[in-house]
Amino acid sequence: MTTDIDEALDWQGRQIDCAACEHAELLAAGRCRLKHACVHDRYARRIDRFFGWNGDLANRYVAHPHFEVRAIAAKYASIFLLPPLLDDAEETVRWNAARRLPKRQVLRLRFDPHREVRIRIASIIDDADLIPMMTDQDYYVRLVIAKRIDPRLLGALVDDVESEVRRVVAQRVPRDWLLGMAGDGHAVVRLEVARRLAPALLARLRFDSDWRVRHEVASRIAPTEIGELADDEDELVRETARSRLAGGPERSKEGPR
């Protein structure tokens, strides 16, 4: 059975005619090939392969009516032709232009209506330029920022509504901020706090409601502070606490940085 991918169709579903193509000379020179490397094909991979072979022609196609052609041409065209593409109706075109332009020219895309553009912009700009995005409505944008921004600038995300964002914040904030997150409402956040706190500060998490947090405490707290953990309701916590009391192997006293 023949499918679209087995045919040479353009973006409007019409058969591609090499004889009528303005690039007929490229075919003879082996610089394009039907159903493999063709700027008129509807499939992005074939368009990309065409420009990979003929990057010098990309400038002609930055205003093509088919968005896939514009988006891929933006990867190869002169950067001087790219600024207008930041206003393109298609997010793929805007992003492909943005990834090649100087950062100062793409900052306005921090507020792009499409989340994928904002996510990608957050992945290429730094620190002070990321601050206006810390209140983005999309949690994944904020998550990218939490992973990339200077840890000293994470204050606005300490109380983020998404636990996954707060978890990453707990992994990266300066250590003297950790106690302020020890009462977080989600166990995955408190666990990250416990992993980084110095043993002398773990006592306040000794009675945490989550066994994973208590187990981390039992693994690293000073043996003299183990107390009730030796009789914890969770078997693994009890075993770890009792092993510590009996002089068993200790975990590293300092958590990860």
pLDDT digits (tens, 9 = 90+) for 157-178: 999 999 999 999 999 999 999 9
Between residues 88 and 251, which one has the greater pLDDT?
88
- Cβ distance 232 to 221 under 8 Å? no
- Portion of the chain with pLDDT greater than 70, in percent: 94
**Residue 15: Cβ within 10 Å count:** 8
Handedness of CA 91, 95, 101, 104 (dihedral sign): positive
The reply to whether domains 1-101 and 174-247 share a CATH topology is yes
- Cβ distance 118 to 136 under 8 Å? yes
CA triple 41-45-50, angle to 5 deg: 65
Q: Which of 36-40, 112-116, 192-196, 250-254 has the lowest mean pLDDT?
A: 250-254
pLDDT at 22: 87
Q: How far is CA 244 from CA 9, 214, 248, in A?
A: 70, 14, 5
Q: Residue 3: is its pLDDT beyond 60?
A: no
Delimit the domains of the chain by residue range: 1-101, 110-168, 174-247
CA triple 190-196-201, angle to 5 deg: 80
pLDDT at 98: 95
pLDDT at 255: 61
Spatial CB neighbours of 17, under 8 Å, sequence gap ≥ 6 = none
Q: Chain-wide mean pLDDT for the chain?
A: 91
Q: Which CATH class is domain 174-247?
A: mainly alpha
Q: Which of 34-38, 151-155, 186-190 has the lowest mean pLDDT?
A: 34-38
Spatial CB neighbours of 48, under 8 Å, sequence gap ≥ 6 = 72, 75
Round to whole Å and give the CA distance between 125 and 129: 6
Q: Residue 1: is its pLDDT beyond 70?
A: no
- Per-residue confidence at 256, pLDDT binned at 50, 70, 90? low
Between residues 19 and 229, which one has the greater pLDDT?
229
- Portion of the chain with pLDDT greater than 90, in percent: 81
Q: Residue 197: is its pLDDT beyond 90?
A: yes
Give CATH superfamily name and number for 1-101. Leucine-rich Repeat Variant (1.25.10.10)
- Per-residue confidence at 17, pLDDT binned at 50, 70, 90? confident
Q: What type of residue is 183?
A: G
Spatial CB neighbours of 192, under 8 Å, sequence gap ≥ 6 = 167, 170, 171
**Residue 7: Cβ within 10 Å count:** 14
Handedness of CA 87, 88, 89, 92 (dihedral sign): negative
Q: Which of 204, 199, 201, 198 is nearest to 223 (CA)?
A: 199
CA triple 216-151-126, angle to 5 deg: 140
Q: Residue 37: is its pLDDT beyond 50?
A: yes
pLDDT at 2: 42
196 φ, ψ (degrees, to nearest 5): -105, -20
Spatial CB neighbours of 85, under 8 Å, sequence gap ≥ 6 = 62, 70, 74, 93, 94, 96, 97
